[in-house]
Structure 1
């Protein structure tokens, strides 16, 4: 069962045999035999050279791979290997065998390499030796080498064994997945079946029967009869032959219900054996079921943990998608956000109910089930989600429609009773929040919506005070405990609700303007832009001014181009003013960062490289942020005059004009509010980053951790235990590898406890190749795409269209140059959409796989009104 000796496939087959699973008889030619073929110095040098190749250099890969294959085929096995092979064939005593590759880097939990290496069927004993050598040479086909390079699997460290088994000339064969590979539902098994050998399915030559079955009892949920036009069978002269299937047989089911049940039952046993979902090749011959191989399904997104304790279907919303940051988070950050959510939610729920958060793939998910079960909220939750993620909203509606019985609705009366009970439990927390919010709302109605200066003072002072409170304990342990115990969603509501209530009259003024002027969409859009002291605007204006300073000081510009440090720049002519202005920017915004909810990431104060890169790219840009702001303000003033003019008619015209002017003033005061709460919270995030980093340094100094940043791969309870002096053996490197694997997975915005990712089709009449998303900022722009996955590693030239996985305030500097925006996640109220509308940039969000479908340099057209992205 040692994969280093028998390869992945051989080791898995050995485990199946040991567990009593019916596997065709056979033996394994071990990796020692392979190594005997690659001992020549020139062969070893060529293999070592493979690891230095660029996975995109197809020509060099093809050249070097061909050389290695040829040398393996020309090499001779030692005498003892040939004798052992002959003896094993005599003992097996069959007319023909299958010869299958089994690499050491194959059928792994993280990379299956399925179908990458050679397999030979219906091989005579006389031909086995050559086929074994051919299998071993297939370790260096172009596609296998490329696959290894892309998955960071060193060629110098892999070897290949070969499994030789009695040939099963199947009546029917295929694959069974113990989890549905399409929906990722873990309660459903998916089966593909065809007449004859399974090669027809593996090679994709036929449309096979597709069966979905309930894993709990093997009941057939759906059976789609495929065309099954070709049958593969063993040839009379060796090898395989293909024959046409009769029309009558094509229309029949390849499997009976009893056979489906047996396959599901066998799949259950094999998944339990290997501890995870499996992709199993099988064959029926004369009613007997054989398992030919089993490999892990590596593409499935992990299940949520903890799993719910009841028997209901539970639906979870990605917290990262709500924050426009769906990337994987390290374990300690996951624990922080789960504490943040549950620490507040638990105040409103019975003690036995617990929190609503869960974890999957190093992401945080929030259980929506308790909310959507309440009749008063069932229809409103999808509507609310649509502002954050249209795919999540549509998917939730779809799952509530299709599986209504699995998420039973509580009656209206029962729903209101639960809501009132939750309010009563949370009264101690809610009372001061509601009281302050009402007070602020009334004050705002009487004296007007707060000015921006007041919002800046409120945001900065709250964030600074809360950050100071977290830092106030005298010990590292005390500061870490405060981080996890005193920062939760209720504390955030206590901060945001009063000022949010103060801004509410301005929001209502905007709605009243919309009802008063339903046909004035352009004017209403214009008056919602052009705020000089709004967070993002001030950020960009100040960065633009820094670019102007650098452009006016040639030595500073040259230093920026060469990547000089701020200390070096300060010594240059014009450098002192530049650095002083930059330091002022850091004083105001240095607590911000890219991907702010990933608390591991350095804040701009710690690593200003992305800011300096943005400044460098904007030196010499004729139309800076201040000019853009002035244009938006001119448009807003023009729009206001038009709306006032429309109101100024009839005897009461002057009064209506004044009323409209007051409504516009209130609306414009309220609009910038949206970015201030997060600006204040970001100061708290920066303190959390600092406190946890300090804990890492403390633990590294005393030897509990190898490196300070290992702290981010601890769980909360482990960190606190280590700080208390409890020795723990945590495999940080394993968690790092797991985290790196999760970073390559695309997190779904919506996920069930069964692993299914609910979606709904987007029915739009678009041309082929056009990508569809959510329209979040009106306008149409054509331009060159720039794909940026991490703003700290990329930059944007003026006029380019930014294509990104998501954007949060840390991406703001890139908006200086963007002509348009395409995001893989987000909705109308997420950060990128709000900034795009403020800047008048056409934008489309929730464009699935945008960063993979679009490449830097592509010409694209972004339609921010209809929600489409067209490749030109």
Structure 2
């Protein structure tokens, strides 16, 4: 057998002990990792690797053409086989499903029927003979797209155990090759954006260890994400039973640093029981500690948490596989984390992070430049510190948790913003690591830090000093405040215009400074009005104590005037009505997809009524987008597919009573009726109090609708930044520094400047796009994340699993029965009138869907979150903060949503 090192291009077979630095394209992930373990001296069963050179020799030429057909369907795939520039949305493989299975079947047939080249056959037989006559071996697949940092491909290819005889080994090799083309493996590669042409398969052949006990070890808790815990599943006999799930294994959770068993369940039931309960455990504590220490050493070798398969024979532990755990959420601050394999730091060093982007209604990641811009906004004022694990914004709330007043604030605010976070947070406070500090530690001095803090403090005090009279002015003269707020928008639009001509450097500098020049003025112009509106609502609630229940005041917020998002939605509805009344426009919209309509609009070939109407709408609202706080997301003016899809949805509204403008008018009437009722009930107690209640509630309705205005103006500024950066990106693409104009959003401002001077930025962009695409596929985002990687909610649920009832936080009263429509992304979504919208979360880009929804159910949110507030304004029932709603509910089932009780009940 030849070495894999130095002779990689033609090597057919290599001993596992020689694979310590073998390249992934030659031996695949499984063999490469086994080679590293063997080279480092870990106990690995002897064996050999049949490299991908053998697979390439055996694969028939027709397979290349079939793989090319599959690659052509991958989102963003380029003809040369590399990733071009995938869209910023999750991959959608629905269009592949019709022929995916058939293409996979054809590929397998090609492999199975093709003759094995003579030199490959001879190499396998010779290598097998070196293991001993008739040796029992495991024949296992090792794909080049396997055991990667972002995708494990666990179980996607086949393995065959207890194979004896050269003929059987050769046939098992052929079956391993064919398993590269199972439907599940093809679908997995497609979902992860991996080329079917580039993937290859090596085969590992190893001695079978006669197992007394076997199992799997995770060097980080895969359920909670905790990096300081080891999880072991074990069972008597071979490990395949544990991996396949055909037995209930013994389960151990171990504190890695000390070897202390935190949880043991010998019967696999998950409940802590004594070692003597039921059958004897497959591992004693000494073996558990030995496995934990071994796993910790393996983790240090690979530099990342590992999923390790192991076998114990009569007296020795053998390692049969190690792969990265790809499902863990990234650490909040990897640079500050304890080195892998060392003892954990002091309890006081554990920090708590709250996901800020979830509070903005975003489950998706943000582009790197989008995060950078948010960072410049968030760090200008205030004491909070931020980190961006998983390309999402987290705020460090540890100082607030360790402060008495900070705790009170968070306990009051979190349940309103997100019910699920609010439910978990009190238990977190019981953790001794987050106890109150008796006195504030001194800050370490740093160069210029005191001056910077003093400047920030003076700026904040000055801003607050200007806000106080503005708040008083808004309360006294609300009509003038409304004019002032909207006049600011006109002035902002004028101020955002960059004089032409401008250089690329000039555009970049201008874009970077926009928010610095506008944030303070924007706060002063738009914050006083809605603040006074909600202050007045709180005052009314106090005045109505003993007269009305607090939730009765929700109706006052329905159909609020002066809400730019509501006005936008109603304008879109009126545009749909206009298009529906025009025969030519209606016919075109009902016959074409949003993408086709967008192409026609760009070409100016829509019917005149539709073309003119859409242009007018986009002139006013084209700066908005789904996930609009991310600078990297295309604005509606660039990509109007979403808006066109909403118009098509509205054309299906046939019942006049379901028309959004009728529903909004009813919401206004309901609010006015509730105010009259509350005033009358108060008058029975006191005429003076009744006048006070009416004053407060009238101010509430006049001013609270302005709450959407600050974000509306910020997004207007972001849109102008994006317009300038699109031009900068186009220049970078022309010069060859990046491949496509929108690559600019995967760079920082300083990097863009370097690119404008001619630097090659392709590598930086490719790495960040890979990370972004990986994070797009992530479904679970921790709301509260500890610095050791623990997902606090997941850890709580692991201790007390949730019941089967589907419930969340009541957010908007009322009941509605209808068919469920689960929507993960509003772009291109279809929602029939009266359907129950089930979503992970929402932001203003989702609200056109609210106009025809029967009710809203969200995984994220509390009573003050965006989706809840808008649902109340539109008068539709809403339940938010429902764990796993998008997976526990399915499109088409009929449910009743009770927005007052916070429940979702399936109907027979």
The TM-score by the shorter chain falls in which range?
0.7 to 0.9
Give the alignment of 1:327-366 within 5 angstroms.
327-345=364-382, 348=383, 356-366=385-395
Distance 1:776 1:103, change over 3 A: same
Question: Is the 8 Å Cα contact of residues 398 and 758 (structure 1) preserved in structure 2?
Answer: no
Matched, 1:16 2:37: yes
For residues 451 and 528 of structure 2, the distance between their equivalents in structure 1, rounded to whole angstroms, comes to 24
TM-fit CA distance, 1:842: 0.9
Alignment of 1:115-194 (within 5 A): 115-126=155-166, 127-194=168-235
Matched with 2:121 is 82
The 8 Å contact of residues 382 and 396 in structure 1, kept in 2 or not, is answered as yes
Report the alpha carbon displacement of residue 520 of structure 1 after superposing the two structures with TM: 8.0
CA shift for structure 1 position 367: 0.9
Contact conserved, 1:786 with 1:801, CA < 8 A, in 2? Answer: yes
Task: Work out the number of aligned pairs and report it.
Answer: 832
SS at match of 1:116: coil
TM-score, length-scaled by structure 1: 0.86
Cα distance, 1:124 vs structure 2: 2.3
Shift of 1:328: 0.9
Bigger shift: residues 830-839 or 282-291:
282-291
Deviation at 1:66, TM superposition (A): 5.2
Secondary structure in structure 1 of the residue aligned to 2:417:
coil
Superposed counterparts of 1:640-655, under 5 Å: 640-649=675-684, 653=687, 655=688
Q: Distance in 2 between matches of 1:590 and 1:452?
A: 26
1:777 matched to which residue of 2? 812
* Residue among 213, 218, 221 paired with 2:259: 218
**1:807 and 2:847 correspond:** no
Q: Distance in 1 between matches of 2:198 and 2:139?
A: 23
Q: Does 1:204 align with 2:259?
A: no
CA distance in 2, matches of 1:118, 1:568: 51
Q: Write the deviation string for residues 339-359 of structure 1: whole angstroms up to 9, x where unpaired.
A: 2222323xx5xxxxxx61111
Q: Identify the residue that residue 352 of structure 2 maps to in structure 1.
A: 315
Counterpart of 2:904 in structure 1 is 869
Change (3 A) 1:497 1:258: same
**1:199-258 Cα distance to aligned partner (Å, 9 max, x none):** 221121222222222233434333332369xxxxxxxxxxxxxxxxxx989633333444
Residue from 675, 698, 703 that aligns with 1:670? 703
What is the match of residue 23 of structure 2? 2
- Residue 91 of structure 1 corresponds to which residue in structure 2? 130
Q: How far is 1:114 from its partner?
A: 1.5
> C-alpha displacement at 1:75, in angstroms?
4.5
User: Displacement, 1:682?
Assistant: 2.0
What CA distance in whole angstroms lies between the structure 2 residues aligned with 1:631 and 1:59?
45
3-state SS in 1 of match to 2:31: helix
Matched, 1:756 2:777: no
Deviation at 1:185, TM superposition (A): 0.9
Q: 1:507 aligns with which of 537, 551, 564?
A: 537
Q: CA deviation at 1:764?
A: 12
CA 599–162 in structure 1, closer or farther in 2 if over 3 Å, else same:
same
SS in structure 2 of the partner of residue 556 of structure 1: helix
Q: After alignment, is 104-113 or 724-733 more displaced?
A: 724-733
Alignment of 1:381-392 (within 5 A): 381-392=410-421
Distance 1:179 1:422, change over 3 A: same
Match of 1:232 in 2: none
Aligned-pair CA distance for 1:282: 1.1
The one-character-per-residue Cα deviations of 1:650-675 (angstroms, maximum 9, x if unpaired) are 8x64x454343323322322331322
Structure 1 residue 833: Cα displacement: 0.9
1:837 to 2:865 alignment? no
Deviations 1:522-548 (A, max 9, x none): 4x3333223343223322332232233
Tell me, what secondary structure is at the counterpart of 1:220? strand
CA contact (8 A) 1:505 1:666 kept: no
Work out the CA distance in 1 between the residues paired with 2:68 and 2:757: 47
Distance 1:675 1:550, change over 3 A: same
After TM superposition, the structure 1 stretch with the greater mean CA deviation from structure 2, 665-674 or 460-469, is 460-469
Question: Is residue 292 of structure 2 the alignment partner of residue 264 of structure 1?
Answer: yes
Cα distance between partner residues in 2 of 1:305 and 1:107? 24
Q: 1:502 to 1:861 in 2, by over 3 A?
A: closer
Q: 1:465 to 1:771 in 2, by over 3 A?
A: farther
- The aligned residue for residue 436 of structure 1 is 466
The answer to whether the 8 A contact 2:354-2:396 is kept is yes
The residue aligned with 1:241 is none
Give the CA deviation at 1:292: 0.7
* Cα offset, 1:193, TM superposition: 1.6
Contact 1:100 1:119 in 2 (8 A): yes
3-state SS of paired residue (1:443): helix
* Structure 1 range deviating more: 788-797 or 812-821: 788-797
The answer for the alignment partner of 1:846 in structure 2 is 881
Q: Return the offset for 1:140.
A: 3.4
Which is worse superposed, 46-55 or 626-635? Answer: 46-55
Cα deviation, residue 86, structure 1: 3.0
Provide closer, same or farther for how the CA distance between residues 473 and 396 of structure 1 changes in structure 2, counting only shifts above 3 A.
Answer: farther
The 1-side partners of 2:280 and 2:513 are apart by: 66
Instruction: Summarize deviations over 1:674-696 as a string: whole Å, max 9, x none.
Output: 22222222222222222332321
Report deviation, 1:558.
3.2
Q: Which of 402, 419, 426 is the equivalent residue of 1:373?
A: 402
Q: Once the 2 structures are TM-superposed, how far is the Cα of residue 58 of structure 1 from its aligned partner? A: 7.4
- Indicate conservation of the 8 Å contact 2:540/2:693, yes or no: no
SS of residue paired to 2:238? coil
Match among 531, 541, 544 for residue 560 of structure 2 = 531
Deviations 1:431-468 (A, max 9, x none): 222222221333345x2545674364255257437745
**What runs of 5+ residues in structure 1 fail to find an aligned partner?**
229-246, 349-354
Q: CA deviation at 1:863?
A: 2.0
1:469-527 superposed Cα distances (whole Å, 9 cap, x missing partner): 99999812421431475577x776555554455445523333234425224854x3333
Paired residues of 1:374 and 1:412 also in contact (CA < 8 A): no
**In structure 2, C-alpha distance between the alignment counterparts of 1:471 and 1:492, rounded to whole Å:** 25
Q: Note the C-alpha offset of 1:806.
A: 1.9
How many angstroms does 1:177 deviate by?
A: 0.8
Provide the C-alpha distance between the structure 1 equivalents of 2:410 and 2:153, rounded to a whole number of angstroms: 42
Please tell me whether the aligned partners of residues 541 and 550 of structure 2 are also in contact (alpha carbons under 8 angstroms): no
- Greater Cα offset, 136-145 or 392-401: 136-145
Give the distance between the partners of 1:304 and 1:484, measured in 2 at CA.
Answer: 26
The answer as to whether partners of 1:181 and 1:300 remain within 8 angstroms in 2 is yes
| Superposition CA RMSD, Å | 3.7
Aligned to 2:622: 590
For the 8 Å contact 2:570–2:661, the answer to whether it is kept is: yes
Alpha carbons 2:725, 2:744 under 8 Å: kept = yes
Which stretch shifts more, 10-19 or 175-184?
10-19
In the alignment, is the contact (CA less than 8 A) between 2:533 and 2:701 conserved in 1?
no
Shift in alpha-carbon separation, 1:269–1:860, aligned structure 2, 3 A: same
Deviation at 1:792, TM superposition (A): 2.8
The change in CA–CA distance for 1:142 and 1:545 in structure 2 (over 3 A counts) is closer
| Residues 688-734 of structure 1, C-alpha deviations (whole Å, 9 max, x = no match) | 22233232123233332222111011134322433466665643223
Q: Relative to structure 1, is the Cα distance of residues 225 and 453 closer, same or farther in structure 2, using a 3 angstrom cutoff?
A: same
The residue aligned with 1:692 is 725
Q: 1:721 to 1:579 in 2, by over 3 A?
A: same
SS of the aligned residue for 1:772 comes to coil
TM-score, with length taken from structure 2: 0.83
Partner residue, 1:481: 512
Matched-pair contact (CA < 8 Å) for 1:105–1:158: yes
Stretch moving more, 193-202 or 127-136: 127-136
Any conservation in 2 of the 1:179–1:187 contact (CA below 8 Å)? yes
Contact 1:826 1:832 in 2 (8 A): yes
Q: Distance in 2 between matches of 1:471 and 1:820?
A: 48
Measure how far apart 1:871 and its partner are.
3.7
- Name which of structure 1's ranges 49-58 and 624-633 shifts more when overlaid on structure 2: 49-58
Q: How far is the alpha carbon of 1:314 from its aligned partner?
A: 1.0
